[in-house]
Amino acid sequence: MGAVPSTPRHTSTTAEAAEYLTGTFVGEKSFPLASDFWQKLLELPLTLRWSSYRVQQASELFAQNNHHTRHLAKILIHLSWCLQEAVRTSGAPSVVYLKAINAVYFSSVFLKYIIENSQSDNIEELCLSLLENEPVPKDFMTDQRIENLLMHNVLTFLGSIDVSPTTSLLHQELLNFMLVAMSTQLLSGPTPGPKDVNPFLDAAMSQESLLVSSVVHRLLLNYIMRPRLPSSTAASYSIFFEENQPGVLQRVGSAAANFVLLPFNYLVNSNSEGSRNQLADCSLHVLLVLIHYHKCVVSDESITDRSDDSASTDPVSKVNTYFTVNPYSKALENARDIEFDRADIEGNAQNGPVVRLPFASLFDTLGMCLADETAVLLLYSLVQGNSDFLEYVLVRTDLDTLLMPILETLYSASRRTSNQIYMLLIILLILSQDSSFNASIHKMILPGVPWYKEHLLHQTSLGSLMVIILIRTVQYNLSKLRDVYLHTTCLATLANMAPHVHRLSAYASQRLVSLFSMLSRKYNKLVELRDDKLQTKAISTGDGLVEDMSAELQIYTDFLRIVLEILNAILTYALPRNPEVVYAIMHRQEVFQPFKSHPRFAELLENIYNVLDFFNSRMDAQRMDGEWSVEKVLLFIINNCRSWRGEGMKMFTQLHFSYEQESHPEEFFIPYVWQLVLSRCGFSFNADAITLFPVDMHANKEIYYDEMNTNQNGELNEQRVQFDP
């Protein structure tokens, strides 16, 4: 049983030997760990070519035989040993890395096939253990879990070995392998439960904090530095062939072929995606999966049911679940700037290892990559979870590096996914919670905004542009998405900005008043529809449609009040600095008239009419030769702003909205992350096997996932915006 399969006499070429050894690997004969067979298999130059049909056959055969051969467990053990050797002999001869690359190729391909074709709830087909009577080397610990051994060595290599021309290909394939290993999440529902089976992810979570920190550091450094696979390295492996010549690992299935040919596809790509960096992108994908993983476990609690006096007092199991701490998420949250660490100054040293990163480079990299949704999610994760990075962003003097790509993406909302729009708006809301941010964005003047087509924006402040884009997003949402949460987030951000507005541009001021007009038209339409229904004799008092309309009417009442609060904040705290806002209100003052007696708006409109009366009375008293031109009116407002003292203005508590993540964010983020990964990582997955999120089943059964879905309702799970009284 332990003998090496002798190469048939007719096998005179490397390709024939490779085909024979690979066929033996997927066959029914089991080879022990210490057999020379594994060395021969892993030292192959990988020049074999099989058709997709033979690949599928080989995959099926491997899955059938794995239960008794345990070849998946054994190849994973050999991969672990190869990585141990590679770490010990850093900078070693290429044969060490060749063996490791071959091992990770075989492991990735067959592991993926078993995962996506599993028929059992706990993925028993993996068989991640050796048989009891299996002969093993003396130094092999039989009580260790193979997935723990494997993930420890994969993560150790990634975290401790620098990316270089020699090691870059192995780094890339190990990252690909991790995505495959963690894809067990695709087989679970959107809500993590204690019965979910994610052996490799759980093994990654169990690693010591020093290793976790080194991995997070490496993944982010890869993303920042964006190292490329050298062409000489690519050419040395048979996987890199012309597209019409199938690479060796196409022998293990069409899905796997898509997966393993990814490096070649990236290297030869010359279209608009050519600027993407494969190693950087894959590092980010792995990081996002790791930091958003939630392991649900059942606590060991029992209670005595005493609800019935006649009942037994025997303890009854109480199902009480909780999520374990995610060390990768914690490592990202505690990351510090390599140039400046608050702990060094304040003397509050962190407990345990800390990830130290060049925040300046990370900031610049994110600014370049925000057109990609994964970069947006990373930026969200940082500003929402890492207070040091958020503080760093807020003190940057070049906020346009981040804000301009964010605003441009929101400008093209019709070509974006709803999730991407939500993430960007939440980022803006988080930033707007800081008063220094709100003040600084109005000091930065943009010479032009070429991508904004509706109006020529010349010498416009970054703050004015942000106001314009947020209002435009509300308009788009009103006509297309009609999502209340999106409205709320936009208006909350505008409300946070309002007291700090400085020299808001004429166009932004006009759009702000037009926003009130637009929402008021929607409000009036709802009032008319409700009244028409109420006047219909056939209607019953409990009519659901009327109740729905009343609820929607209440929502738009709140929206209108927030807009009035925004205008009030500008007029109360910043009127002398914003003559264009005064002009816009005077120019469209008729839009406020219908709401003067409305109980929700009356007190706010008193302030607006106080301002209108101040300027209208002075304008009426001033004699003017000829007509009032726009320029003359504006000059009049500027001159009279100097004498404005705010007399008669009622002071209202400033609105301040803050973002609070929903109580169960994992129900949104885990499916969202995997949708992003599958749409970008280059390998397909059996659509029938995916239960994590809805899949368009009329698409190819083995798909590259391109359509970005949300949750089962087709909407983003709501993230709360809290009002701070």
235-265 pLDDT, tens digit each: 333 332 333 333 333 323 333 333 333 322 2
Q: End-to-end alpha-carbon separation of the chain, Å?
A: 75
Rounded to 10 deg, the angle between the 544-574 and 579-587 helix axes is 140
Considering only 31-40, 84-93, 210-219, 402-411, which range has the smallest mean pLDDT?
84-93
Query: Does 511 score more than 50 pLDDT?
Result: yes
Nearest Cα to Cα of residue 176 among 252, 90, 277, 285: 285
At 258, which helix (H) or strand (E)? helix 254-260
pLDDT tens, position by position, 98-132: 899 999 988 998 999 999 999 888 899 999 999 88
Residues 425 and 410: beta-carbon distance below 8 Å:
yes
The Cα diameter of the chain in Å comes to: 111
pLDDT beyond 80 at 686? yes
Highest mean pLDDT among 171-175, 249-253, 652-656, 714-718: 171-175
Q: What is the mean pLDDT of residues 288-302?
A: 86
Confidence of residue 172 (pLDDT cuts 50, 70, 90): very high
Choice between 655 and 247, residue whose per-residue pLDDT is larger: 655
Whether 111 contacts 181, CB under 8 Å: yes
What letter would DSSP give residue 460? Answer: E
Position 552 pLDDT exceeds 90: no
Mean pLDDT throughout 4-12?
A: 45
How far apart are alpha carbons 295 and 321 in whole angstroms? 10
pLDDT in tens, 304-334: 444 444 444 454 445 688 899 999 999 999 9
Mean of the pLDDT values across residues 529-536?
76
Cβ atoms within 10 Å, residue 654 = 15
- Write down the pLDDT at residue 300: 66
- State the DSSP string of 695-714: --TTS-SEE---S---STTS
pTM (two decimals): 0.87
Distances (CA, A) of 435 to 440, 493, 499: 9, 12, 9
